[in-house]
Amino acid sequence: MISARIRVPDDTGALLWDLDGVVLDTLTMEYDLVQELLTRYVPAAGGRAAPVSREVVRRAFPHPIPEFWRLVLTALGTEPADALVAELTAALEHERTIGSPDVLDGVRELLADASSAGLALAVVSNNPVAHVEELLERAGLRGSIETVVGNDQGLPGKPAPDMYLAGADAVGLPPQRCVALEDSLLGAQAARAAGCFVIGVATGAATFPELEAAETVDVAYRRFTPCAAALAPGDVTRKRLDTPNEFVSHMLEHIAWRTGATITVDWSSDDWDWLGHTVGEQLATLLDGEASLSRALGLIDDGSCEVTLERTVQDAGVVVLTGGGPGGVDAERFVGMRVEQLTTGLPLVQLLEGLTRACGLRLTVALASLEDPHHTWEATYRAVGIALRGLSRTLTAHADGAGGTAGVGTDDRRAASGYGLRVEHAGADAVRVVRTTAESVCVANVALAHAERTGLALTLATSESVHCEGLVDLVARLGAAAGLSGSIDFSALELSSSHVVTEDVGMTLGAAVKELATRRMHAFGIEGAGSSVTNAPVPEPIRVGVSFEGRKFLQLVPLGWTREQLRDQLIGGTLTSGLFTEDLDDFLDGFVGGMGASVVVHWEPVADVDAAWGLIFTGLGTALAALLAPNHAKRALIAGVKATLA
């Protein structure tokens, strides 16, 4: 670990730095220069230069300057004529020689600490050596770099491996003992081909998701800021988790929630093992109980498991997932499944490995139920948190109220925030319901549609990594079929995940419909149940029923195919809009919970997932319209046959 900013393999002997976008913020300088040069040269060629986006410059950034200009001009719809490209190339090369880009955050600290640790330092750049040395000199970094490899030394440029091979040779080490720091996929390809360990940093040509997904990148960083985590017994609503993946953050929330801890995490990389180890170091100081073993059952919705934590030295950090015997959960398949923004569950295993290694624990997870992978993962992390508390006198005393932690249980901030569902207005034709959590707020203003107010509009304010925009159209379909108008506004900018968005929206809408139905029932009576079944010659392949006359329940019934086949379509599918099918299942779960009603979906095979979910949302809306329809025979009665038998 260097300067608490990056972690490198134990046998690392040298850091080989790319220059542009890694050491120096030349991307920002380049962006400004491009605007200026286009204004200066493109109109002279017979066109009018429009401002070019930063994204265009970013994507062209890793290429040699002539190719860079061809890509930029093409993106602007301007013919990249050779003469124009040559003029722009010469101008940009000149401007680069006199420019002074800023040193990116964390680089000075990393160079100083790496040098103190005895690591060799070199720059490997697609720029001429003299230009690189001049830029380093202006930045006050030339004395920190032992050698420079440039594109004017007769070597093929990146993505060929030759420049990194030359860099390794210059510091007298095999490439396998060198770590390359790159911002571009082309540079990462060159370093990997040379045999280096590759760190990608999203401060230049490539975005973090691009680097994270690249097979040529071993570890991706958003930036070189210090990585830190702090966890201590306290108010569980006092938390801040900033990691590159919000589902990972969500799993750490479960650990903090079940151990009864406040938690702060500032993490810039996808080195999940290191993150787990850092959180585990905090927990290890709290595991002061006498027990050598702790077991717990974890569950949430349709996911459940049982975990065992054992104190150990030899097997610390070993994490074993089992499926509970023949016919049980396939543990390997489970880990390989997509979960929220993670393409597989492997990062969640790595997080547990780092955590248990720091705590001196061996973890066994017996997976009992798998319908939706994120529920089973949530159940796993909840159970781990419970089992950790079982190994700690301090955490147990804190939970019992004997730990003496100030403010816990007496914090007026919680009451003032109004956590949970609250009805702010309710009438027979319009309601306002608000759901507030520690991370999100969802407000539903729902009314029966009239000529002057039609349509149910959903707005979403989420973090950049969450893409639920497709839910807007589906909610509009539901509202149109149900005869509802109004708005639903969801906001969670600091911490969110796609299933939280869909579930919270569903729950808040369900609660609003519940209030609307209850008020109408007492005012003049309603049907209390409805469905999308019609007398059409050919019924829709998916039909939905909803009822107030039963307990809270969601049932998805496969007709003409097996439950396993239906589950496979529910998990891992992606709509054209980018919505995950398992998150839409969570919308239904949330809606049923908020409304406190029974919903059944009779589901015949529909290969097109967009069509299937369109039918479900439209069918649910149609069923709600029937449920809300007046029936004066039921006025002021509790829904159900038993209400008439008193």
Tell me if residue 145 falls in helix, strand or coil. Answer: coil
pTM of this prediction? 0.83
- Tokens representing 5 are 């900013």
Task: For residue 6, tell me if it sits in a domain.
Answer: no
Q: Are residues 92 and 111 in the same domain?
A: no
- Residues in CB range of 485: below 8 A, 6 or more apart: 446, 447, 448, 449, 450, 453, 454, 455, 456, 479
Q: Are residues 517 and 536 in the same domain?
A: no
Q: What is the mean pLDDT of residues 103-131?
A: 94
Q: How many CB atoms lie within 10 A of CB 210?
A: 17
Please tell me the predicted confidence (pLDDT) of residue 416: 45
Confidence of residue 404 (pLDDT cuts 50, 70, 90): low
Please determine, for residue 559, whether its predicted confidence score (pLDDT) is greater than 70: yes
Q: What is the mean pLDDT of residues 513-541?
A: 92
- Tokens representing 103 are 């040193």
Number of structural domains in the chain: 5
Query: No. of H helices and E strands in the chain?
Result: 21, 22
Whether the CB-CB separation of 257 and 388 falls below 8 Å is answered with: no
Please tell me whether the peptide bond between 558 and the residue prior to it is cis, using omega within 30 degrees of 0: no
Task: For residue 307, tell me if it sits in a domain.
Answer: yes
CATH number of the domain that 429 lies in? 3.30.230
User: In this predicted model, what pLDDT tens digit does every residue of 448-466 receive, in sequence order?
Assistant: 987 555 789 999 998 877 8
Q: What is the mean pLDDT of residues 529-556?
A: 90
Q: What is the mean pLDDT of residues 229-236?
A: 93
Please determine, for residue 599, whether its predicted confidence score (pLDDT) is greater than 60: yes
- At 253, give phi and psi (nearest 5°): -55, -45
Q: Are residues 279 and 365 in the same domain?
A: yes
Whether the CB-CB separation of 408 and 234 falls below 8 Å is answered with: yes
Q: Are residues 18 and 38 in the same domain?
A: no
Ramachandran bin of 340, using left for φ above 0, alpha for ψ from -120 to 50, beta for the remaining angles: left
- Which DSSP symbol is given to 20? B
Exposed e or buried b per residue across 501-531, where buried means at least 16 C-beta atoms within 10 angstroms of its C-beta: bbbbbbbbbbbbbbbbbbbbbeeebbbbbbb
Please determine, for residue 30, whether its predicted confidence score (pLDDT) is greater than 90: no
**Domain endpoint, select from 70, 98, 126:** 98
Please tell me the predicted confidence (pLDDT) of residue 413: 47
Residue 238's domain comprises 234-400
Task: For residue 642, tell me if it sits in a domain.
Answer: no
Chain centroid offset of residue 365 CA: 24
Percentages helix, strand, coil for the chain (3-state, rounded to 5) are 40, 20, 35
Task: For residue 188, tell me if it sits in a domain.
Answer: yes
Q: What is the mean pLDDT of residues 299-328?
A: 90
- Better-predicted residue by pLDDT, 87 or 384: 384
User: In this predicted model, what pLDDT tens digit does every residue of 614-644 receive, in sequence order?
Assistant: 999 999 999 999 999 998 887 877 555 455 4
CATH number of the domain that 188 lies in? 3.40.50.1000
Q: How many CB atoms lie within 10 A of CB 453?
A: 12
Q: Are residues 302 and 341 in the same domain?
A: yes
Calpha distance 465→393 (Å, rounded) = 38
Q: Are residues 201 and 345 in the same domain?
A: no
Single-letter amino acid, residue 579:
L
Task: For residue 406, tell me if it sits in a domain.
Answer: no
Task: For residue 346, tell me if it sits in a domain.
Answer: yes
What is the DSSP pairing of strand 239-242 with strand 261-266? parallel
Q: Are residues 320 and 215 in the same domain?
A: no
Whether the CB-CB separation of 64 and 76 falls below 8 Å is answered with: no
User: In this predicted model, what pLDDT tens digit does every residue of 14-29 receive, in sequence order?
Assistant: 999 999 999 999 888 8
Ramachandran bin of 596, using left for φ above 0, alpha for ψ from -120 to 50, beta for the remaining angles: left
User: In this predicted model, what pLDDT tens digit does every residue of 54-69 receive, in sequence order?
Assistant: 888 888 887 888 998 9
Sole residue written with tokens 């200066």? 40
From the list 401, 499, 414, 490, the residue with the least C-alpha distance to 445 is 490
Residue count of the chain, please give it.
Answer: 646
Q: What is the mean pLDDT of residues 91-95?
A: 85
**Domain endpoint, select from 523, 543, 573:** 523
CATH number of the domain that 539 lies in? 3.30.230.40
User: How large a percentage of the chain has pLDDT more than 70?
Assistant: 93
Please tell me the predicted confidence (pLDDT) of residue 405: 56
Q: Are residues 63 and 128 in the same domain?
A: no
Task: For residue 5, tell me if it sits in a domain.
Answer: no
Q: Are residues 190 and 271 in the same domain?
A: no
- At 630, give phi and psi (nearest 5°): -60, 145
Q: Are residues 317 and 371 in the same domain?
A: yes
Taking the alpha carbons at both ends of the chain, their separation in whole angstroms is 73
Q: Are residues 394 and 260 in the same domain?
A: yes
- Tokens representing 585 are 């299942």
Task: For residue 245, tell me if it sits in a domain.
Answer: yes
Calpha distance 401→395 (Å, rounded) = 10
From the list 448, 515, 435, the residue with the least C-alpha distance to 486 is 448
From the list 356, 354, 232, the residue with the least C-alpha distance to 285 is 232
Sole residue written with tokens 């990062």? 347
Sign (positive or negative) of CA dihedral 179, 181, 184, 187:
negative
Sign (positive or negative) of CA dihedral 263, 268, 270, 274:
negative
User: In this predicted model, what pLDDT tens digit does every residue of 342-386 receive, in sequence order?
Assistant: 999 999 999 999 999 999 999 999 999 988 899 999 999 999 999
Confidence of residue 539 (pLDDT cuts 50, 70, 90): very high
Please tell me the predicted confidence (pLDDT) of residue 351: 98
The overall average pLDDT reported for the chain is 90
Please determine, for residue 403, whether its predicted confidence score (pLDDT) is greater than 80: no
Please tell me the predicted confidence (pLDDT) of residue 408: 46
Please determine, for residue 187, whether its predicted confidence score (pLDDT) is greater than 90: yes
Please tell me the predicted confidence (pLDDT) of residue 533: 94
**Domain endpoint, select from 468, 498, 523:** 523
Q: Are residues 472 and 582 in the same domain?
A: no
